Amino acid sequence: MVDLAFGFLIVVSLAGAVMAVALKKVFHNLIGFGLAILGSAGVTVILGAEFVALMQLLIFLGGIAIAMVFAVMMSTPREQDEEDRSPGRVLGAVGIGSGFMVVVGFLMLSGVFPAAGPQDDALFSAQHLGLLLLSDYALPFEAISLLLLAAILGSVIVARRSREDDDLPTEGVEGV
């Protein structure tokens, strides 16, 4: 039963990933991206990491995908420029990708990992994770908060500065 669900999730998320890469319209790419994230969140649930799966859904789908939809809406190209899909480019990209997959897949399968079988569920729970984040990993946790704050402030500044270069009158609009 779990195997069946696992196979289904893998098929869904890989199909979504291929959609996210191969289709020409960015909006269709985003739908494929959503499928890929849904499927891989399911895989994370099968692995027993429910909290990570929820965060994956919340941030990748609820945050990043939605922000990308807004970016697509606000940045419609003035002229529809066709992407270069010459056979050479496609073959080169797919060749590098599949070469990567063959080499890394071979290394992964031939590697010897200290296998322990599935770990204890209690050590995998959200409660244990919360304790870890507030004790051993408190400093990295704070660092990532700082990184997020800096990134978001930076992105606001980058997006604002380009607006000031426009010829549109900004007085009166600023005072809102």
| 138 touches another protein by CB under 8 A | no
| 42 touches another protein by CB under 8 A | no
Counting residues that bind another protein (by CB under 8 A) gives 92
Please say which residue, 75 or 171, places its beta carbon nearer to another protein: 75
Provide the phi-psi class of 166: left if phi over 0, else alpha when psi is between -120 and 50, else beta: beta
Burial class (CB in 10 A: 0-12, 13-18, 19+), 16: buried
| 36 touches another protein by CB under 8 A | yes
Among 8, 134, 142, 144, binds another protein (CB under 8 A): 144
CA distances to 99, 124, 159, 171 from 51, rounded to whole Å, are 34, 10, 32, 47
164, 170 Cβ separation under 8 angstroms: yes
| 113 touches another protein by CB under 8 A | yes
| 52 touches another protein by CB under 8 A | yes
| 108 touches another protein by CB under 8 A | yes
DSSP state letter for 137? T
Residues 60-99, interacting with another protein (CB under 8 A): 60, 63-64, 67-68, 70-72, 74-75, 77-79, 81, 83-84, 89-90, 92-94, 96-98
Q: Which residue's structure tokens are 């998320």?
A: 13
